[in-house]
Amino acid sequence: MTTNICEKLKNLFEKYTNYNSFACSSQNKFGLKLDIIQDGELCYSDFKLNRLYTGFPNIIHGGVQATIIDEIGFWAMFNKYKTVGLTTKLSIEYLNKVEPEINLKALVTKIVKSDLDVNVEVQIKNNNMTLVIGFLTYKLINDILLKRYFGEKFYMEFLKIKNEYN
C-alpha cells in the first residue's frame, strides 16, 4: 500500500532569469500566482480569482480558465515524465460559469503517455461541481529541440535547475 504525500510542487523555472509566468510566477504582479500541489503523479491547485480576471460580468474569462488548465496539465506532465512538453492541442468544455471570489480547484484527472505525446485531462471544480474540463496534448521535446527553441543560455540554466529538481 502506498500513501501519497501532498506537497507544493517545485517550480523549477522560478530560479530562471526573468521568469514571469502569468499563471504561476510569484513575481508577476498581475499573475495568478498558482500554488501547484503534487499528489503522487497528479497535480492540483486550490485558488480564488478576483474580478480582475472577468470577461462577461461576474464570469471569469474563458482564456484565463484555459490558462489555468494548461498550467496544471503542464506541471503534471513535467512532474511525471521529468521533461518539457509543448502544448499542441487544447480543447475546453465550459460546462458551468466560473464566478469570481469563490473557492476553486483545478486538478488533473487523467494523464496518459503515447509515443512522444502526453494527453492530460484537467477539471476546474467548485466543491464537487465540475465547471470546466480541459483536454490537452503535449509534445515531448528532447534536449536538442529544447536548445534550438530556447537557446543555449536557457538550456544550460534549465539543466542546472532540473538537476536540483530531481
The 10s digit of each residue's pLDDT in 85-98 is 999 999 999 999 99
- Domain assignment present for 75: yes
In this structure, are residues 99 and 60 in contact, taking their beta carbons and an 8 Å threshold? yes
- Domain assignment present for 1: no
Q: Hey, what's the cell of 98?
A: 466560473
Indicate the pTM of the whole model. Answer: 0.85
Q: How far is CA 25 from CA 13, 15, 65, in A?
A: 8, 10, 17
- Domain assignment present for 2: no
- Domain assignment present for 90: yes
Rounded to whole angstroms, how far apart are CA atoms 98 and 161? 35
Q: How far is CA 156 from CA 16, 153, 162, in A?
A: 10, 5, 10
User: How many domains would you assign to the chain?
Assistant: 1
List the one residue out of 86, 87, 92, 89 whose CA is nearest residue 106.
Answer: 92
Q: Which residue range forms the structural domain that includes residue 103?
A: 7-165
Query: Could you tell me which residues are beta bridge partners of residue 45?
Result: 106
- Domain assignment present for 100: yes
Percent of the chain with pLDDT over 70: 84
- Domain assignment present for 107: yes
- What does the pLDDT look like over 77-135, one tens digit per residue? 988 888 889 999 999 999 999 999 999 999 999 999 998 899 999 999 999 999 999 99
